Structure 1
């Protein structure tokens, strides 16, 4: 499979993982919504082959980076609710970098005069008072008091992960996802930080359904024409669509119509012209059909639970789009970078578009954040993973036709996430002197030769890789990366651009790799987890095709993920489970079983990583948005609950995702070097945080 395609696959695989998050930290159920399936079982469709956009071999970039160096002189313990010290993979705490440095823009809308953009990771919405015709700064910001801050909040003038936007030219509607509400302005705001006039919220938390089925919860999609309002209740457990026949005029005004669609999973986008309705879904469950596509109503629904007419999928990526004034329908999504136009509304799932263009040069492969706004013949497309908005001044007519201009970047070929070293899915590893961060999404290894002591510090070296490293292991001077079907091993840490000493590709000896997800090294063994094979392979010493091909032990473990070992205990995270397992290294054998299970339903929510270091245990409790800390691994093994400290939240009762010094948003990986705890966030946030004991 092509490398760019694999990068796209990981985007949707990660989205599936998040769809599988258990409803809340206090929920005793083991249900992994949707449909009780572990996240990685959702991928039945595979994207087509496409041209390469990643290197076939390792390349190295040296960065002229300067930063303050941490002393490492810390002592004490970690404390619940404490602040992080510094933030990498970003500008700084509560700093955006300015009006045109986005961080994963998503929803986009226009009334033909204004342009509105949800700058999602920056917790703000940007407004241009006139349609921009180039890389022009916005005039107004909502959710913040100025263009330079990005802290979330719950006030009517604040936001936490805004995603979709809709307008009729008079009203403005925004889905405020992590606050579980819809914000409405009765007039287009003209001042920074203007508060919403109307709030619709059902009282549910981020992962739980609204307590009132006719009010929004954590909703992604919105649409309005000023008369009707449509909202997707994305995390409702069973896909639900809310419709107001008349535009809401008061807080918490209930919807007139609720569409429960049993085949719907996590509905993401709404496309409508007021006569027809299309709901893009990422986790659909239509028999015999791919999970990413859209549900079509040929006539706008008028009653509760009115069934859809057909489901259409174009392969990889759900369908989303907008209508032209003359009724033509434009949709993005599906396989490749294709723009599809129907001159009239499709009759059924077999109705092919009248126009289909592959815009590979615009890199329009689908992601979570892509959205479309049409003004006359002008097409604006937000492209979150490329961190920009592109615009065609008229409908493109040629394959690979380049956009006329870009907003949020100097040109079509610059990704400002990469330029500013914003790292997606960072997995840190520190030995107390150096810091390494692997990224599967970026296909990179970032190297800080010294431990940074200031926020926003750029790495010294960046390795671009022909594989997606899911996990990283570091012991003394040995560093290893594992992902897909490849392992890289450096016998001397890569501080000078040195290449790996050992490369294991596709397998070693009689072992064939299928999907590597974890790697660990201790003084006894080298460990690899293969999630698809359901195995943990354990070698004495470093595996090598010629001298050490055969593992000493092979553990049968269902869906093993990231690993860590301190030489006494092996910690294993498991895909789709609310706990981590601990094995005794001294008692390992091929029929070995864990000596303890840490967590469980109601305690953890799909933890992605656990690390055992310096007699302590740290667990990245990912979907509860926190790090759990036990000062003694022995006490953790004996069942101690609660843990000694909770980082990222003020208590065990709070699981709300948010960025900030005291908050975490999907922590996916941890590394403790004895002085500092490094935390990498995952999927819907992209920070690397450092916490210090005191």
Structure 2
């Protein structure tokens, strides 16, 4: 492939490169062989280690916080634990107790009454503690406040059994992917997120699997309800995908408000409100204090009294972009202090009093040395890691972080930090490595290095908005081989193909129409297209013959169909092998010969599970949690996990 040096001029201030001076064990001898179903991964990047949280004050995307006025509780979501301070912390103090684990180091999930798998919310009231054990599809209840590490729950509310249709029919007994919980020790409210309903118990449950008294689905307007805010009189439910007809405020993200606690099935909500500062942002989660409603969303919003309609603006908006909620952020007000758990900020930000001015700042942080430090960054925890390797070095791009991470040599130990971290001007969704050329593509930008950036070199070429007559809309894939350079645009439904790396004014040789094309991979013989949201149920992977490729080309095979995949995020063709990141089914499928996949045969190897029937996400050594993108060099398979887990795992042939 010929590499062009033409492109837009790079201004040094646009991209920053940081050298970390990292030291880590590197690969000396590579293994030979092949993979085995259910095998262990051997090292983990983007994390401390297997079954190792890193200690009591290193969180991993915390969920909600709660307090009974004396103690503070935090759902440390990705570490599968609840942290408890027996006295309200006045600084960066370690917690006293942990639930879900026996100590403050381990973080493996489990299904016992003393274990959890991805707990998003915790609530406390009347001496009772409630936890949404989200990926175990259950609610854990302690009837009295726990006093020892790893104390088992007293009660459990499991979901009714059956298929999705049966579960939807048994609304009051169906707990599917519960995110939010609230209790005052007398009432209980829970979101059954996957079922699109909210469940209410008007008296606190006293038996295992006790059905709810009331269900709410907003007269069909609730989509995927997440978090709950209440004072026992008012009820607020955050929703990531509401079905509000004609919802013009944003994307359907927002909150349903009930002015009074609902007393009948599917009692209508009073109004729906998107975040006042950013209608396209996140849903809000909060708490009440002295008649005030305080919510964290795209900043901190304070109403002096409960809002009466969707146009009732906050009396005060506080904070900058560092004080932004995320998937499951929350707060607790106790002892005059405001404790705000920040999912993506990876800390609890604490105000010594409820803010009174727009520029009030938190007084201290818990889980971080200061309010400005994000320990996800300092520990090189990568979101949506997309790996690429030439067998000597490792490159990982992240759209969420807008970064490129570079290991000059292949790491051979867990928690090895990268040598260089690039902060980019756009969000790279995919990458490709061919020979000495590295390319990143995402949204409306393409970054190209003509030689691998092993010493912090800036890209040689940056294309923004267009190449030739191609206007970028939503780039989601890039691939290279000895003949072609490929870009996929998901929104346009196109795969653009150039001969060699293009220059700024090069038009593609031809264009292929495709259904929701995403990440791409090519070895020169086959072009593999991941189509996460294609019309095929569950998503699909299309395989084209690269030889003779043209605008009229049809796939040799389309892998997918009901029950085959669950929203695959990435596929790789390498050395004649096909690797598929079957994200929603939490496994990587491997065909030793891609021709077997084309012929419709099942995968030879499954990583992350012992059988196709095991689809539960877990962060164990031999388990996977939303695996998305594979990279292979003949000896090592690197697998990046997506969105709700952030590990980068290495599996070795044996």
Q: Into which bin does the TM-score normalised by the smaller protein fall?
A: over 0.9
Counterparts of residues 233-632 of structure 1 (less than 5 Å)? 233-236=192-195, 239-261=196-218, 262-289=220-247, 290=250, 291-314=252-275, 315=279, 316-324=281-289, 326-333=290-297, 336-337=298-299, 339-353=300-314, 355-360=315-320, 363-545=322-504, 549-577=506-534, 578-632=539-593
C-alpha displacement of 1:92: 0.4
Tell me the distance in 1 between the aligned counterparts of 2:498 and 2:318: 47
Q: Is the 8 A contact 1:277 1:297 kept in 2?
A: yes
C-alpha displacement of 1:210: 4.6
Evaluate the alpha carbon distance shift between residue 378 and residue 206 of structure 1 in structure 2; reply closer, same or farther with a 3 A threshold: farther
The superposition leaves residues 106-128 of structure 1 with CA deviations (integer Å, 9 ceiling, x where unpaired) of 11000110000011010010000
Question: Which SS does the other structure have where 2:179 is aligned?
Answer: coil
* Counterpart check, 1:634 vs 2:595: yes
Q: Is the 8 A contact 1:329 1:343 kept in 2?
A: yes
Count residues in correspondence.
629
Q: Is the 8 A contact 1:104 1:384 kept in 2?
A: yes
The superposition leaves residues 633-674 of structure 1 with CA deviations (integer Å, 9 ceiling, x where unpaired) of 011101102x10110111100110110111100111111111
Tell me the distance in 1 between the aligned counterparts of 2:420 and 2:139: 43
RMSD: 1.6
Q: Is the 8 A contact 1:164 1:222 kept in 2?
A: yes
4+ residue stretches of structure 1 with deviation over 3 A?
A: 203-212
Which residue of structure 2 lines up, in the alignment, with residue 87 of structure 1? 44
Question: Which SS does the other structure have where 2:596 is aligned?
Answer: helix
C-alpha displacement of 1:376: 4.7
Tell me the distance in 2 between the aligned counterparts of 1:477 and 1:564: 16
Evaluate the alpha carbon distance shift between residue 616 and residue 208 of structure 1 in structure 2; reply closer, same or farther with a 3 A threshold: farther
Which residue of structure 1 lines up, in the alignment, with residue 9 of structure 2? none
The superposition leaves residues 314-346 of structure 1 with CA deviations (integer Å, 9 ceiling, x where unpaired) of 31221221111x33211222xx42x22223322
Tell me the distance in 2 between the aligned counterparts of 1:129 and 1:493: 52
TM-score by length of 2: 0.94
Tell me the distance in 2 between the aligned counterparts of 1:279 and 1:193: 30
The superposition leaves residues 608-627 of structure 1 with CA deviations (integer Å, 9 ceiling, x where unpaired) of 11101111100000000100
Q: Is the 8 A contact 1:206 1:218 kept in 2?
A: no
Which residue of structure 2 lines up, in the alignment, with residue 665 of structure 1? 625
Question: Which SS does the other structure have where 2:30 is aligned?
Answer: coil
Question: Which SS does the other structure have where 1:193 is aligned?
Answer: coil
* Counterpart check, 1:655 vs 2:615: yes
Which residue of structure 2 lines up, in the alignment, with residue 645 of structure 1? 605
- Which sections of structure 2, spanning at least 5 residues, go unmatched? 1-11
Q: Is the 8 A contact 1:201 1:217 kept in 2?
A: no
Tell me the distance in 2 between the aligned counterparts of 1:683 and 1:209: 29
Q: Is the 8 A contact 1:569 1:585 kept in 2?
A: yes
Question: Which SS does the other structure have where 2:194 is aligned?
Answer: coil
Tell me the distance in 2 between the aligned counterparts of 1:638 and 1:479: 32
Evaluate the alpha carbon distance shift between residue 640 and residue 531 of structure 1 in structure 2; reply closer, same or farther with a 3 A threshold: same
Counterparts of residues 148-227 of structure 1 (less than 5 Å)? 148-203=105-160, 210=167, 212-215=170-173, 216-227=175-186
Q: Is the 8 A contact 2:465 2:472 kept in 1?
A: yes
Tell me the distance in 1 between the aligned counterparts of 2:319 and 2:462: 36
Question: Which SS does the other structure have where 2:63 is aligned?
Answer: strand
Q: Is the 8 A contact 1:160 1:176 kept in 2?
A: yes
Which residue of structure 2 lines up, in the alignment, with residue 48 of structure 1? none
- Which sections of structure 1, spanning at least 5 residues, go unmatched? 1-54
Tell me the distance in 2 between the aligned counterparts of 1:610 and 1:488: 21
TM-score by length of 1: 0.89
Q: 1:677 aligns with which of 610, 630, 637?
A: 637
C-alpha displacement of 1:450: 1.0
C-alpha displacement of 1:412: 1.3
Tell me the distance in 2 between the aligned counterparts of 1:581 and 1:611: 11
C-alpha displacement of 1:74: 1.9
Which residue of structure 1 lines up, in the alignment, with residue 30 of structure 2? 73
Tell me the distance in 2 between the aligned counterparts of 1:442 and 1:527: 24
The superposition leaves residues 362-399 of structure 1 with CA deviations (integer Å, 9 ceiling, x where unpaired) of x1223113101111532110001111000111111222
Q: Is the 8 A contact 1:209 1:235 kept in 2?
A: no
Q: Is the 8 A contact 2:318 2:355 kept in 1?
A: no
Tell me the distance in 1 between the aligned counterparts of 2:398 and 2:162: 30
Tell me the distance in 2 between the aligned counterparts of 1:356 and 1:392: 15
Which residue of structure 2 lines up, in the alignment, with residue 147 of structure 1? 104
* Counterpart check, 1:130 vs 2:94: no
Evaluate the alpha carbon distance shift between residue 644 and residue 77 of structure 1 in structure 2; reply closer, same or farther with a 3 A threshold: same
Q: Is the 8 A contact 1:323 1:330 kept in 2?
A: yes
Tell me the distance in 1 between the aligned counterparts of 2:577 and 2:269: 53
Tell me the distance in 2 between the aligned counterparts of 1:366 and 1:99: 22
